[in-house]
């Protein structure tokens, strides 16, 4: 699973062969310049999800599965508002499901309601970017008590109807325990290799961001290559142009 935030990035991950495309609220940082995911709105998530879907070229049945994030405060303020937010993303784009964070009782109630409504839901445990002010960007579930709590929450997400789950920045051994306990796919990010699948932010893999998360190594210096190419073009344009050469006058014909 790879992320996309517009038509261009969607075409790249589709051509690369991704099974799932996640329109993550990470686009708040990658594309919109925010320092966290919190400011992105439902309207912006819809706009970017529509752009991602337009960037996929294969027939709908052959495209990667498109999942979109429910942004902060779109599902924490009551069941009806959550259904309306998720329904907006699903109804007005080609996304096949939504992803939301956490497993508190209120979130579980939202998941159950969405699933009953016919909206597929992907869960998300471990490091929760929407809870950055309380959890930070630190590795989660490092002690036995928090690990047991995460295992219980994972089971609750499955029971609530999630079809898959993202597990972010937790110990690899714990991720393996979650995978073996659940029957739904567990997709890791910074959670080791003992998962059913992996997800990464495409901009991080391509080396486009100024800084890398500790669990995502760039596969190329995309930023450096792009800056160099653009700098070379700008330098070429700033060179003084040579005066146009006057073509030689052809000799007069002899009679």
Name the active-site residue from 148, 156, 168, 252: 168
Active site residue 43: no
Sign, CA torsion 119/87/77/38: positive
Torsion-angle region of residue 32: left (phi > 0), alpha (psi -120 to 50) or beta?
alpha
Q: Are 199 and 2 in contact (CB under 8 A)?
A: yes
Query: Strands (DSSP E) along 79-233, which ranges?
Result: 97-99, 121-126, 164-168, 186-189, 197-198
Q: Give Rg (Cα) of the chain.
A: 24
DSSP string computed for 207-224: T-SSS--TT---SS-HHH
Q: How many residues are there in the chain?
A: 255
Catalytic residues: 168
């Amino acid at each position: 699973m790879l992320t996309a935030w517009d038509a261009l990035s969607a075409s790249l991950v589709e051509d690369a062969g991704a099974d799932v495309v996640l329109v993550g609220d990470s686009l708040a940082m990658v594309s919109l310049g925010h320092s966290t995911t919190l400011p992105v709105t439902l309207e912006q998530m819809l706009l970017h999800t529509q752009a991602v879907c337009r960037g996929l070229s294969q027939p709908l049945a052959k495209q990667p599965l498109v999942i979109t994030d429910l942004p902060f405060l779109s599902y924490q303020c009551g069941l009806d508002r959550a259904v309306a937010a998720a329904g907006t993303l699903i109804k007005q784009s080609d996304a096949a499901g939504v992803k939301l964070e956490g497993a508190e009782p209120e979130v579980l109630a939202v998941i159950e309601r969405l699933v009953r409504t016919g909206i597929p839901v992907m869960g998300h445990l471990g490091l929760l970017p929407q809870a950055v002010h309380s959890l930070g960007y630190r590795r989660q579930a490092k002690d036995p008590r928090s690990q047991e709590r995460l295992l219980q929450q994972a089971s609750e997400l499955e029971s609530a109807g999630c079809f898959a789950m993202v597990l972010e920045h937790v110990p690899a051994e714990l991720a393996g325990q979650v995978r073996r306990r659940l029957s739904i796919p567990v997709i890791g990010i910074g959670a080791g290799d003992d998962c059913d699948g992996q997800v990464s932010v495409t901009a991080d893999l391509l080396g486009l961001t100024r800084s890398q998360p500790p669990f995502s190594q760039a596969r190329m210096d995309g930023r450096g290559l792009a800056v160099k190419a653009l700098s070379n073009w700008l330098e070429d344009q700033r060179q003084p142009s040579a005066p146009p050469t006057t073509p030689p006058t052809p000799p007069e014909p002899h009679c």
